[in-house]
């Protein structure tokens, strides 16, 4: 897999491509907890059709790893077609996992689901700020916190639906 070099944190407000247009969404890979800006040097290629991975900064040393996602490739109809093609979904999943793993090598990471999309960078900030992922990231940031130093998280869900018993 080819690697791209980038150093973009957030996006300049003037003349930059991306979610400022009505034709692009913000694809979110994961959250990274780091006291310093994570390096994008050597970051793997994005999911097929998306822009180069970049960072959105949050408070308290938390960054979202995101990419610009053109709506002609990431609309509901386009994604539905991809979901029906095992090879296509595999390419997306492997690229998504490669980007998440790249950041996991150097900092605590909370991965988001494949095809997590927001209408803009600001919508991604608001959505992530209100998510359980961000509340967990907040807990990992304090040096004296019970979660400090944990390198891997594992979560399980249980379905207690009586109809499935």
Parallel, antiparallel, or unpaired for β 24-33 and 109-111?
A: antiparallel
Q: Which residues pair with 44 in a beta bridge?
A: 3
On the CB side of 123, how many CA atoms lie within 13 Å of its CA?
12
d(CA 86, CA 28): 22
- For residue 27, pLDDT over 80 is answered with yes
pLDDT, tens digit (0-9, with 9 covering 90-100), for 33-76: 999 999 999 999 999 999 999 999 987 789 999 999 999 999 98
3-state DSSP call for residue 32?
strand
pLDDT, tens digit (0-9, with 9 covering 90-100), for 108-161: 999 999 999 999 999 998 888 765 554 444 544 443 344 444 444 444 444 444
pLDDT at 131: 59
Judge residue 35's burial from the number of C-beta atoms within 10 Å of its C-beta, 0-12 exposed, 13-18 middle, 19 or more buried. exposed
Greatest Cα pair distance in the chain: 56
Structure tokens at 118: 């927001």
Give the predicted TM-score (pTM) of the model: 0.70
Percent of the chain surpassing pLDDT 90: 57
């Amino acid at each position: 897999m080819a690697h791209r070099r980038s150093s973009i944190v957030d996006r300049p407000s003037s003349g930059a491509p991306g979610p400022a247009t009505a034709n692009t969404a913000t694809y979110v890979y994961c959250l990274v907890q780091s006291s310093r800006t994570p390096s994008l040097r050597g970051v793997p290629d994005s999911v097929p059709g998306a822009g180069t991975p970049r960072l959105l900064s949050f408070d308290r040393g938390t960054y979202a790893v995101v990419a610009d996602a053109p709506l002609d490739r990431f609309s509901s109809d386009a994604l539905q077609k991809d979901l029906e093609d095992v090879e296509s979904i595999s390419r997306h999943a492997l690229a998504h996992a490669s980007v998440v793993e790249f950041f996991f090598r150097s900092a605590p990471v909370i991965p988001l689901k494949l095809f997590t999309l927001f209408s803009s960078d600001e919508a991604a900030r608001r959505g992530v700020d209100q998510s359980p992922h961000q509340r967990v990231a907040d807990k990992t940031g304090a040096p004296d916190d019970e979660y400090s130093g944990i390198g891997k998280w594992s979560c399980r869900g249980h379905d207690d639906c009586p109809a499935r018993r």
